[in-house]
Amino acid sequence: MKQATLSRILYVEDDPDIRELVTMSLQLIGKFQVAACDSCAAALDLVDEFSPELLLLDVMMPDVDGPATLQVLRERVSAENAPAIFITAKVDAGDMQRYRKMGVLDVIVKPFDPMLLSSQVEQIWRSNRSNLNDNNK
């Protein structure tokens, strides 16, 4: 059986420096297709055409933050089942519990190592896939 591979990542981050760095890391090292944008509104413009397999969202964004962006994106058929990873400098036990309840797979904490980011993302995505497969057996 052919193993499922992660290909399309929708990435939302308002900091242009971090956005460029993460996009470059995911594209060059991970060989992922990345649709990157700076806000919830921009993500809504992209999501249907891009049909992401994974949502990678910054938490602290002005206007609409990461958790609210996730809720809005999940209302779209094209992203309703896409797993999500948050990327943030701010995480404590309470935050983590809240994110898990929203169905977030995991949190990548800033600062992250840009050389290792792609494998980190892939690993989180794969562990979710194997959990899903185990549950479906």
Partner 1 sequence: MTTTNDEFARELARLTAAFVAQLPQQVQILNDDLAAWLSASREAGLFDRLSHKVHQLKGSGSTFGCSGVSEAARVLEQRLAVLQSDATGAAASDLEKIEAAMRALHGEADRIYRESLRGGQAGAQT
Cβ atoms of residues 73 and 56 within 8 Å: no
Tokens representing 30? 């991970």
Half-sphere exposure of 61 (CA within 13 A, CB side): 28
- Which among 73-81, 91-99, 107-115, 128-136 is the span making contact with partner 1, rule CB under 8 A? 107-115
Ranges within 73-92 binding partner 1 (CB under 8 A): 89
- Asked if 115 is part of the footprint of partner 1 (rule: CB under 8 A), the reply reads yes
Contact call for residue 112 and partner 1 (CB under 8 A):
yes
Contact 115, 135 (CB under 8 A): no
- Footprint of partner 1 on 17-36 (CB under 8 A): 17-18, 20-21, 24-25, 28-29
With CB under 8 A as the contact rule, the residue among 8, 74, 76, 110 that binds partner 1 is 110
Q: Please name which of 37, 30, 36 lies closest in space to residue 5, comparing C-alpha atoms.
A: 30
